[in-house]
A and B are shown apart, each in its own frame.
Chain A
Amino acid sequence: MTDTNPSWVRTLAVCGVLVLIQTDALADDDASEHHAHAARRTTISTTQQYAIPEVRLIRDDGVGVLLPAEMNDGRPVVVNFIFTTCGSICPLMSQVFGQFQRKLDTDARQPHLLSISTDPEEDTPGKLRQYAQRFGARDGWNHYTGTVEASQSAQRAFDVYRGDKMSHTPVTLMRAAPGRPWLRIEGFLTPDELLQRYRQLLSTG
């Protein structure tokens, strides 16, 4: 299934345009995290067009689902990729998702949060439920596992596949509604920043 979008969006996305780089008081990195100037936190936002692959994943409640159906039920979606035995990046991303979800409590349009495991053979639905609980996940935030091939297809479709689970980088993806373009944010966001980007995306469509 492919989302439909105005051709200008596709063109810009293909050209890698619509790039927004935000440098906050802290952050991003390249080779060495404790390097002096590595301490500033930078996020890079781009608008992208992704074809959601027709892969079957297992949701954290043990039910087999198709990824397009999970993403195209009409709700805005916010997506990340994690694995439960990850030590540094994933717990931070999941903490941000958890706090983001709680901050959204009063919003009329609740998004569907999807966290897809990049280590699906280890991350059984039961382990994903435990992990979700650790970060206070509420209804509306699901974790997904499946076969290695299905997980990799999903990762490739959203250009987050880096060959193995330890090579991952922090990426958050969001889309206001089926058929709309995706906002891709690389780097670490705070819960407030994620909330701001999310509301901005919804207000601009």
Chain B
Amino acid sequence: MMMRGPYARPLRLRALCAVLALLVAATTHAGVGETIYRQGILLSGEPLQAEREPGMHIEGATAACINCHRRSGLGMTEGRRAIPPIAGRYLFHPRAANADELDLPFVEGMKADRDPYDEATLARAIRTGVGADGQPLSYLMPHFQLDDVQMASLISYLRSLSPGPVPGVTTSVLHFATIITPDADPVKRDAMLEVLTKFFDDKNRYTRAESPRLHSSRRMMFKVNRHWELHVWQLAGAPQTWEAQLRDKLATQPVFAVISGLGGRTWEPVQHFCEAEGLPCLFPNVDLPVDRQSDFDSLYLSKGVLLEAELIAHNLRASKAGASIHRVVQIYRAKDIGKDAAAALRTALHDEAMTVVEETLGAGASGHELNALLAKSQPNDILVLWLRKADIAALGRPPARVARVYLSGRMAGLEQAPLPGKWRGLTRMAYPFNLPDRRRVQVDYPLGWFRMRQIPVVAEQVQADTYLVCAIVSDAINHMVDTFVRDYLVERIEELLEHRIITGYYPRLALAPQQRFASKGGYIVRFRDSNGTSLTPEGDWTVP
């Protein structure tokens, strides 16, 4: 019977409250703990509050656990400080006599000879900074203000962190995938796959039989040599179908991480898939990466043409020609990455008093049409050509009185760009790599490795990058010992990358939390001669 009259509203309200309470209860242990841990935001939407000592107040994102204990909950090493793991199994594990008896994957800062936490002592540690043994924790550990419900949510989240076996890892095999989009360049595809295959062969040469877990000293807990297995995920069809294809492939063959890969016009669906699955997507070969600050799993060697746009903007500003610049005219092909690069340059020049216009060349337009478009240039125009090699080769006579021309090095073919001699005096090229003569030693190493394995060099930069990525991932896996946790792989790479000596096409590589592009700068170069590949940098390595 439906109730009416004055009692109806309160009852409805009560019902609504009950539903809300149920919703709150349902989310308490799932999302709330994660939001506190990662973002420092409480259930109410208020910032998490904490203090290190009276007057040393922190709140919100600055107070979030993730800053020190990392997304994996496995802690980190900073300076001489090993920030301990707080993933549940490290907190609640019974005391062991020594590290050898501690049946937990090794991470820096783990403790064997400590009483386990229980819910009450852990809540005390989080609120008052007193450890399971009754002793004060580190000065760096803040004292958090959390009520019982939110404390329970946080502890529940800690229990869920880095739980147990990870898909794609067996006692004897580590599974990796590499992803190739259907519009990827077929020559680069084969070149990349040959490097990957040979690297995996090399890795597996000494792991034909399963090796026993080696016991060792307290700080080194080695380790089964696992066979590395590569799965090539070749996508087909339209980009909007890629995510479903990838989900199917992952369900059929779980992998620990995605290594290298090759893209074309867009990588967005692949990145979206990796982020949704929490799957590390390690340094694909793409000219147009996805630059999304909130993403975690997707790492790149370079920001590609987006970096080139920033370099060109920086050069335009720095050249102080701004006052005399009439227009910046950007030309790109429809259905190619130049459109995105042009948008990035437009954004970068937003505060400058320059007119920026874009001209689109049809996807199937001829060289004649390109030259007709160029002929429309006005005196003192700055041209920015987001065009590929074939278009560069088809350039006719430069338009009269154009002030300057910029090329995208990545799209035009770097020093191999087939730029006609008449254009060379006018033209500068964004070059987001180390200069050829300065990277020789760094690139000789992979080139020597290719020679020894009879790998033909047909796409040097893609092949050198692919080799570099294999070496980076291999180093990181070695440093993980047996702790196969996907977030931890990304975190190890963030920490280790800066130490690399062989950095291929890049002068240096470095990452950190919230840094997703390892090489940050580049050059603006000019061709030295009317033909040939010699370059002259205009200025130093620049981080725009």
B175 on the A face (CB < 8 A): no
- Separation of A92 and B79 alpha carbons in the complex (Å): 14
Residues of A in contact, count (CB < 8 Å)? 48
- Separation of A41 and B52 alpha carbons in the complex (Å): 12
Min CB gap B341→A, angstroms: 20
A34 partner, pick from B79, B141, B540, beta carbons under 8 A: B141
Min CB gap A28→B, angstroms: 8
Interface string of A7-43 (1 = CB under 8 A from B): 0000000000000000000111111111111111100
**Interface-forming stretch among B55-63, B264-272, B460-468?**
B55-63
Contact B67 A29 (CB under 8 A): no
B131 on the A face (CB < 8 A): yes
A32 partner, pick from B84, B139, B498, beta carbons under 8 A: B84
A87 on the B face (CB < 8 A): yes
A162 partner, pick from B58, B79, B83, beta carbons under 8 A: B79
A97 on the B face (CB < 8 A): no
Contact A89 B80 (CB under 8 A): no
Q: A30-B80, A34-B84, A169-B79 are in contact. Are A190 and B109 (CB under 8 A)?
A: no
A31 partner, pick from B78, B80, B514, B543, beta carbons under 8 A: B80
Q: A34-B138, A169-B80 are in contact. Are A85 and B513 (CB under 8 A)?
A: yes
A68 on the B face (CB < 8 A): no
Min CB gap A24→B, angstroms: 9
Complex A-B: 23 CB contacts under 8 Å: A27-B139, A29-B138, A31-B82, A32-B111, A33-B140, A39-B129, A87-B70, A87-B513, A88-B68, A89-B81, A91-B58, A95-B56, A119-B510, A121-B543, A147-B541, A164-B498, A166-B78, A167-B78, A168-B78, A168-B79, A169-B80, A190-B53, A190-B55
In the complex, which residue of chain B has the Cβ closest to the Cβ of A83?
B512
Question: A: which residues have CB within 8 A of B?
Answer: 26-41, 83, 85-89, 91-92, 95-96, 99, 119-122, 124, 134, 147-148, 162-170, 188, 190-192
B543 partner, pick from A27, A32, A124, A169, beta carbons under 8 A: A124
Min CB gap A46→B, angstroms: 17
List of A residues within 8 angstroms of B514 by Cβ: 85
B78 partner, pick from A28, A88, A124, beta carbons under 8 A: A88
Contact B67 A34 (CB under 8 A): no
- Separation of A30 and B109 alpha carbons in the complex (Å): 11
In the complex, which residue of chain B has the Cβ closest to the Cβ of A90?
B78
Contact A39 B135 (CB under 8 A): yes
Contact A33 B512 (CB under 8 A): no
In the complex, which residue of chain A has the Cβ closest to the Cβ of B495?
A166
Chain A contact surface mostly: loop
In the complex, which residue of chain A has the Cβ closest to the Cβ of B519?
A121
Min CB gap B157→A, angstroms: 18
List of A residues within 8 angstroms of B131 by Cβ: 34, 36, 39
B133 on the A face (CB < 8 A): yes
Min CB gap B38→A, angstroms: 12
Min CB gap A7→B, angstroms: 34
Interface string of B65-77 (1 = CB under 8 A from A): 0111010000011
Contact B137 A39 (CB under 8 A): yes
Interface string of B491-504 (1 = CB under 8 A from A): 00001001100000
Contact A34 B495 (CB under 8 A): no
Contact A121 B55 (CB under 8 A): no
In the complex, which residue of chain A has the Cβ closest to the Cβ of B109?
A32
Q: A34-B109, A39-B137 are in contact. Are A87 and B78 (CB under 8 A)?
A: yes
Contact B139 A85 (CB under 8 A): no
Contact B55 A191 (CB under 8 A): yes
Min CB gap A168→B, angstroms: 5
- Separation of A35 and B139 alpha carbons in the complex (Å): 11
Interface string of B42-53 (1 = CB under 8 A from A): 000000000011
Min CB gap B71→A, angstroms: 11
Count of chain A to chain B residue pairs whose CB atoms are closer than 8 Å in the complex? 129
List of B residues within 8 angstroms of A85 by Cβ: 512-515
B446 on the A face (CB < 8 A): no
B436 on the A face (CB < 8 A): no
A165 partner, pick from B68, B138, B512, beta carbons under 8 A: B512
Which B121-177 residues have C-beta < 8 A from chain A?
Answer: 129, 131, 133, 135-141
- Separation of A134 and B59 alpha carbons in the complex (Å): 12
- Separation of A99 and B136 alpha carbons in the complex (Å): 25
Contact B81 A88 (CB under 8 A): yes
In the complex, which residue of chain B has the Cβ closest to the Cβ of A123?
B543
B284 on the A face (CB < 8 A): no
Contact B55 A26 (CB under 8 A): no
Contact A33 B498 (CB under 8 A): no
Min CB gap B133→A, angstroms: 6
In the complex, which residue of chain B has the Cβ closest to the Cβ of A41?
B139
Contact B68 A87 (CB under 8 A): yes
- Separation of A95 and B191 alpha carbons in the complex (Å): 50
In the complex, which residue of chain B has the Cβ closest to the Cβ of A96?
B56
B79 partner, pick from A27, A89, A119, beta carbons under 8 A: A89
List of A residues within 8 angstroms of B82 by Cβ: 31-33
Contact A88 B83 (CB under 8 A): yes
In the complex, which residue of chain A has the Cβ closest to the Cβ of B52?
A92
B138 partner, pick from A33, A120, A170, beta carbons under 8 A: A33
Which one of B58, B109, B136 has the highest number of Cβ atoms from chain A below 10 Å of its Cβ? Answer: B136
In the complex, which residue of chain A has the Cβ closest to the Cβ of B86?
A34
Contact B78 A122 (CB under 8 A): no
- Separation of A151 and B31 alpha carbons in the complex (Å): 41
Contact A86 B512 (CB under 8 A): yes
Min CB gap A118→B, angstroms: 11
List of B residues within 8 angstroms of A147 by Cβ: 540-541
- Separation of A184 and B139 alpha carbons in the complex (Å): 20
Min CB gap A105→B, angstroms: 16
List of B residues within 8 angstroms of A119 by Cβ: 510, 512
B188 on the A face (CB < 8 A): no
- Separation of A124 and B67 alpha carbons in the complex (Å): 21
List of B residues within 8 angstroms of A188 by Cβ: 139-140
Sorted from nearest, which 10 A-B pairs have the closest CB atoms?
A36-B135, A39-B136, A33-B138, A87-B67, A121-B520, A85-B512, A169-B79, A88-B68, A164-B498, A41-B139
Min CB gap A193→B, angstroms: 11
In the complex, which residue of chain A has the Cβ closest to the Cβ of B68?
A88
Contact B137 A34 (CB under 8 A): yes
Contact B84 A33 (CB under 8 A): yes
Min CB gap A185→B, angstroms: 15
